Amino acid sequence: MSSLKINEIYTSIQGESSYAGLPCTFVRMSGCPLRCNWCDTAYAFDKGAEMSMEEIIADIKLRQVKLVELTGGEPLAQKESLELLDQLESQGFKTMIETGGSEPIEHVNRNTHIVMDLKCPDSKMSAHNLYSNLEFLKSSDEIKFVIASKEDYTWCKNQIAKYDLSKRFNVLLSTAFGLLKAQDLVEWMLEDKLEARFQLQMHKYIWHPRTKGV
């Protein structure tokens, strides 16, 4: 029987992406191979409990919300996540996955909406970006950059141009919470006429930024 190490399962609203504002059940996986400087979910690095696939899906069904996101930590660090996505899709759920971009996405269910980071230099994890993943993203999927400085923004802008990202995917830019003013990032984007969507982490403005389970 397949199982995964789960940090928490909860229902809230989508705080980011093109699905922002919609009710969503989140399955937060334990474990992550990355250690981003600005990580806001370090509590998920090792804490969690083993749950069977059946237990996870039963919990999700009880919540009666059709949109389900696998997040972390890094959900793709547990290969059983692929099976969970397949099972959820086969049972009528709309699935999303938020991945840090260092794990292969080739075998993610084609109906799953992928939000994939490209880590900027200030995260200290940009060397782990797996650029081959760009060949497996769908045009409806999203690439997210978390910006902590003007240097990050310049690097991001160069990546968008180098890989023609705005023409291929939906591109999202957000600030590393507490490290960069939203106004600064928006003004840079407007000055450069950057073809990308600015986003805020909506849940951090509704609840206290350190609140878990929201």
Radius of gyration in angstroms for the set of CA atoms belonging to the chain, rounded to a whole number: 17
61 found inside a domain: yes
Q: What pLDDT is attached to residue 1?
A: 63
Q: What is the pLDDT of residues 46-86, one digit of tens each?
A: 889 999 999 999 999 999 999 999 999 999 999 999 999 99
- The yes-or-no verdict on residue 101 having pLDDT over 70 is yes
- The yes-or-no verdict on residue 143 having pLDDT over 90 is yes
- The yes-or-no verdict on residue 146 having pLDDT over 70 is yes
- The yes-or-no verdict on residue 186 having pLDDT over 80 is yes
Handedness of CA 57, 63, 66, 71 (dihedral sign): negative
Mean pLDDT over residues 170-177, rounded? 95
- The yes-or-no verdict on residue 42 having pLDDT over 90 is no
Q: What is the DSSP string of the chain?
A: --EEEEEEEEEEE--SSTTTTSEEEEEEES--S---TT-S-GGGTT--EEEEHHHHHHHHHHHT-SEEEEESS-GGGSTHHHHHHHHHHHTT-EEEEEE-SSS--TTS-TTSEEEEE---GGGT-GGG--GGGGGT--TT-EEEEEE-SHHHHHHHHHHHHHTTHHHHSEEEEEEPTTTS-HHHHHHHHHHHT-SSEE---THHHHS-TT-S--
Q: What pLDDT is attached to residue 177?
A: 85
Instruction: Output the pTM of the full model.
Output: 0.94
- The yes-or-no verdict on residue 212 having pLDDT over 90 is no
Average pLDDT of the chain, as a whole number: 95
Q: Into how many domains does the chain fold?
A: 1
What domain range is 163 assigned to? Answer: 3-206
Task: Identify whether the C-beta of residue 126 lies closer than 8 Å to the C-beta of residue 119.
Answer: yes
- The yes-or-no verdict on residue 207 having pLDDT over 80 is no
CATH number at residue 34: 3.20.20.70
211 found inside a domain: no
Q: What pLDDT is attached to residue 203?
A: 77
Q: What pLDDT is attached to residue 41?
A: 82
Q: Would you state the structure tokens that stand for residue 159, as one six-digit string?
A: 């990546």
Task: Identify whether the C-beta of residue 27 lies closer than 8 Å to the C-beta of residue 6.
Answer: yes
174 found inside a domain: yes
Q: What pLDDT is attached to residue 206?
A: 79
59 found inside a domain: yes
Using CA atoms, how far apart are residues 85 and 27, in angstroms rounded to an integer? Answer: 11
- Residue 205: which pLDDT band, with cuts at 50, 70 and 90? confident
214 found inside a domain: no
Going by DSSP bridges, is the β-strand pair 67-71/23-29 parallel, antiparallel, or unpaired?
parallel
24 found inside a domain: yes
Q: What pLDDT is attached to residue 214?
A: 64
